């Protein structure tokens, strides 16, 4: 009698103590079932959303990207910025170093110019390897050419034998710099503009 | 066998002693283990342990024990014998190293462009994967009763800490945020929370060895509960990183360019995975699971848990997809611009 009472009591107590767990797990299982089914249903529309996203983002189908099958304008501009921003910062630092020394120390000024040539050459190489879309490619070539001209001029300037000769290059270097800026603006604008249908390759 | 003696001897050194083949001592349906000290409390804990292994003390079902015993068997491998368990642990554990493997080429070549551009994606996502794998061990032990994979908990925990610390170092020295390395780690809310997580992971990493476990005694277990704090902080880290889960145009990790912002939102992935990890840890749910298992109604447990686990898998697939996608880009030193 006592034993069966104890067993019954234990069983009842056990059920009571696990009821909350049962309610929780059932509720969460139902919620999860709904979410998984909704997720699978939503996943069936992936292909269509993919096409819409590519069209909206301005897809360049000739450029490979594993995730979306092509490189979008957004991806391209981020990649372009990741090259130009540090390069321009470095070039500005080199120019500032030259400006600080151009009147005092020929050796230091020439060292700054050589550093500028190295930075500009690296920038030039990065741009030459960049997968510019066909629409932007002519502007990019002009930009690379402008950078190349300035590199030649700066290298020549770095070979000056006096401070006066060194400074005599300044106006021409400045003009070459202005040409680079103009070309960069054109590339930037072209890159950030979605190509029209007849411009697509 | 006294608890103290076992403890002093090193809980991991002789695992066969911890799981002796004594089927009669722990008969099916038995509610508790005999207080023999054969299963010292701390001996079963490893890095990332949550100290809530009450369900581990459920009666070990026959088939679970069979799997554990089978895993202790040896396989012939090139004229020598390797424990099945060792081989399985190596195979399962190797994946934990994957995020660091992806970053190795850029580390060897000191390619700061790749390190700065993708360390947060590759190692950050890798840390998340390892944390979830570490947290997954206890629920799987609870549900299956098997124990042969318990050492993976420590391994995934260590890999989580390595990835997290690597992520913080990469962000501090190579990210394009303004300021000095320390400023880069604390100037945004999400970086500050990430930094806190790394700070908490450091003591766990340092104490993830048998020596520290013996020295710290019962405090070791308390210390390891910091894993829960890290898990909670990860929610806030991702929430502040992702604009609380709301995608704004291309702002947020949900923008992968393929139009599936919901699947790429890391906060949603976190929630999908955490629901399972949290549910099986809730004391009432654990009691319910143990009660059903004692009644021999494992099928009900699996049916109830399966949808929640399916949601975990659903979320986890996208985290792994992110890791492999960003990781392969890092490996070829062409960091993803997505």
Q: Which one of A23, A67, A83 makes the best mutation probe of the B interface by having the most chain B beta carbons within 10 Å?
A: A67
Interface of A with B (CB under 8 A): 14, 17-18, 20-22, 24-26, 28-30, 32-33, 35-36, 39, 42-43, 46, 49-54, 57, 65-68, 72, 74-76, 78-79, 82, 85-86
- CA-to-CA dists, residue B307 to A34, B263, B277, angstroms: 9, 18, 13
Average pLDDT, chain B: 77
Q: Is the pLDDT of residue B24 over 60?
A: no
- Out of B260, B263, B307, name the one closest to residue A33 (CB): B307
Q: Is the pLDDT of residue B54 over 90?
A: no
The pair of three-digit structure tokens given for residue B59, joined into one six-digit string: 């009666």
Residue found under tokens 């949900």: B254
Q: Which residues of A touch B286 (CB under 8 A)?
A: 21
In the structure, what pLDDT confidence band is assigned to residue A196 with cuts at 50, 70 and 90?
very low
Interhelix angle B298-331/A2-43, rounded to 10 degrees, is: 40
Residue of A nearest to B251 (CA): A74
Best residue of B121, B143, B175, B259 to probe chain A, by most A CBs closer than 10 Å: B259
Q: Contact B282/A79, CB-based, under 8 Å?
A: no
The Cα B277–Cα B279 span in angstroms is 6
List residues bridging with B77 in a β-sheet: B80
Q: What is the pLDDT of residues B130-163, one digit of tens each?
A: 999 999 999 999 898 888 888 999 999 999 999 9
Distance CA B199, CA B143 (A): 32
pLDDT tens, position by position, A6-20:
444 444 445 557 788
Q: What is the pTM of this model?
A: 0.66
Query: Looking up tokens 């799981």, which residue turns up?
Result: B19
**A90 contacts on B by Cβ (under 8 Å):** none
Residue with tokens 């003591």: B203
Q: Which of A75-79, A101-105, B52-56, B130-134 has the highest mean pLDDT?
A: B130-134
Q: What is the ipTM of this complex?
A: 0.73
Per the document, the length of chain A is 201
Q: Give pLDDT, residue B265.
A: 86
**What digits encode the pLDDT tens for the residues A82-133?**
788 888 888 888 888 898 888 888 889 999 999 999 989 988 888 888 888 7
Please answer whether residues B70 and B146 qualify as being in contact, where contact means their C-beta atoms are separated by less than 8 angstroms.
no
Of A155 and A67, more confident: A155
Count CB-CB contacts under 10 A for residue A43.
14
Q: Which of residues 76-105 of B touch A (CB under 8 A)?
A: none
Subunit contact B250:A74, Cβ cutoff 8 A: yes
- Would you call A25 and B279 a contact, using CB atoms and an 8 Å cutoff? yes
Cross-chain Cβ contact A28/B308 below 8 Å: yes
């Amino acid at each position: 009698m006592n034993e069966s009472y104890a067993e019954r009591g234990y069983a009842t107590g056990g059920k009571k103590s696990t009821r909350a767990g049962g309610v929780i797990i059932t509720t969460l299982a139902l919620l999860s079932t709904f979410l998984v089914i909704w997720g699978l249903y939503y996943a069936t529309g992936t292909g269509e959303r993919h096409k819409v996203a590519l069209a909206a983002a301005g897809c360049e189908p000739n450029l490979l990207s594993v995730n979306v099958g092509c490189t979008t304008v957004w991806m391209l501009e981020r990649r372009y910025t990741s090259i130009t921003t540090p390069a321009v910062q470095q070039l500005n630092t080199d120019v500032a170093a030259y400006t600080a020394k151009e009147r005092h120390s020929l050796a230091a000024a020439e060292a700054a110019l050589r550093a500028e040539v190295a930075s500009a050459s690296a920038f030039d190489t990065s741009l030459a390897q960049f997968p510019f879309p066909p629409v932007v490619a002519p502007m990019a070539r002009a930009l690379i050419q402008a950078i190349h001209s300035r590199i030649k001029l700066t290298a020549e300037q770095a070979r000056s034998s006096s401070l006066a000769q060194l400074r005599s290059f300044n106006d021409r270097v400045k003009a070459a710099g202005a040409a680079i800026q103009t070309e960069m603006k054109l590339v930037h604008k072209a890159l950030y503009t979605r190509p029209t249908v007849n411009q697509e390759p | 066998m006294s608890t103290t003696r076992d403890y002093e001897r090193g809980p991991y050194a002789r695992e066969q002693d911890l799981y002796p083949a004594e089927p009669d001592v722990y008969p099916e349906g038995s509610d508790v283990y005999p207080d023999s000290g054969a299963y010292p409390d701390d001996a079963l804990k490893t890095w990332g342990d949550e100290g809530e292994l009450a369900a581990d003390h459920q009666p070990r079902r026959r088939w679970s024990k069979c799997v554990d015993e089978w895993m202790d068997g040896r396989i012939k491998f090139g004229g020598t014998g390797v424990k099945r368990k060792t081989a399985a642990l190596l195979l399962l554990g190797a994946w934990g190293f994957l995020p660091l493997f992806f970053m190795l080429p850029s580390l060897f070549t000191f390619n700061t462009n790749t390190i700065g551009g993708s360390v947060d994606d590759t190692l950050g996502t890798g840390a998340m994967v390892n944390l979830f794998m570490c947290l997954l061990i206890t629920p799987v032990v609870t549900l299956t009763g098997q124990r042969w994979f318990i050492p993976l908990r420590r391994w995934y925990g260590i890999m989580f800490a390595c990835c997290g610390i690597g992520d913080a170092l990469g962000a501090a020295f190579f990210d394009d945020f303004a300021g000095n390395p320390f400023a880069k780690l604390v100037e945004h809310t999400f970086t500050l929370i990430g930094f806190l997580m790394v700070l908490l992971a450091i003591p766990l990493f340092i104490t993830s060895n048998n020596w520290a476990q013996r020295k710290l005694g019962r405090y070791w277990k308390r210390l390891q509960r910091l894993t829960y704090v890290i898990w909670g902080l990860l929610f806030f880290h991702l929430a502040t990183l992702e604009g609380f889960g709301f995608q704004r145009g291309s702002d947020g990790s949900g923008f992968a360019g393929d139009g599936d912002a919901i699947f790429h939102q890391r906060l949603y992935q976190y929630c999908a995975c955490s629901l399972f990890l949290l549910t099986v840890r809730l004391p009432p749910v654990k009691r319910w699971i143990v009660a059903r298992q004692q009644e021999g109604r494992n099928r009900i447990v699996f049916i109830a848990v399966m949808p929640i686990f399916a949601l975990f898998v659903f979320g986890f697939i996208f985290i792994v997809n992110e890791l492999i996608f960003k990781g392969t880009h890092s490996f070829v030193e062409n960091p993803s611009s997505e």
